[in-house]
Amino acid sequence: MSNIAVRNRRNKRAGARWEAEFRDELRQAGYDIERLRLTGTEDEGDHVIRRQPVRHRPFLIAETKNAKFEPGTFIKEALRERDNYARHRGHDPRDVEAVVIVRRRGASWRQAYVLSTVEEFFDLHPEAAP
């Protein structure tokens, strides 16, 4: 096996461990979190968190990352997966929020970064494309 293949497998395992740690720790903290299955171009994100009582939107799609920090790419992926989740389950996309949870090296899972957009965070209507 090539060095690249070995590295890729190691990185994939580290990412899977991070996803499991995030899910398990949030469950212990009392959150209703479910791991979502990968479905290629129809991917729905890594986890859905059902919010009770509803503070913002009832569903939160969390895309977890243990990789080089690329916020624009991460957000674009999370928003696409949010739309897939809503479409597959017959939800209004306005009921589903998307965030990216990015692991911080050497820090607790609680110290991970949470990425969103101003539009998403404040529930603003989408702006027309320039």
Q: Is residue 105 part of a domain?
A: yes
Q: Is residue 44 part of a domain?
A: yes
Mean pLDDT value across the chain: 89
pTM: 0.85
**Which pLDDT does position 37 carry in this prediction?**
82
Q: Is residue 81 part of a domain?
A: yes
Q: Is residue 128 part of a domain?
A: no
Q: Is residue 127 part of a domain?
A: no
The total of structural domains in the chain comes to 1
pLDDT band for position 76 (50/70/90)? Answer: very high
Q: Is residue 59 part of a domain?
A: yes
CA triple 49-19-74, angle to 5 deg: 80
- More reliable by pLDDT, 54 or 116: 116
Q: Is residue 125 part of a domain?
A: no
Per-residue pLDDT for 7 more than 80?
Answer: no
Strands in 13-54 per DSSP E: 32-35, 47-50
Cα–Cα distance for residue pair 1/33, rounded to 1 Å: 36
CATH number of the domain to which 69 belongs: 3.40.1350.10
pLDDT band for position 93 (50/70/90)? Answer: confident
Q: What is the span of the domain harbouring residue 36?
A: 3-119
**Which pLDDT does position 26 carry in this prediction?**
94
Q: Is residue 21 part of a domain?
A: yes
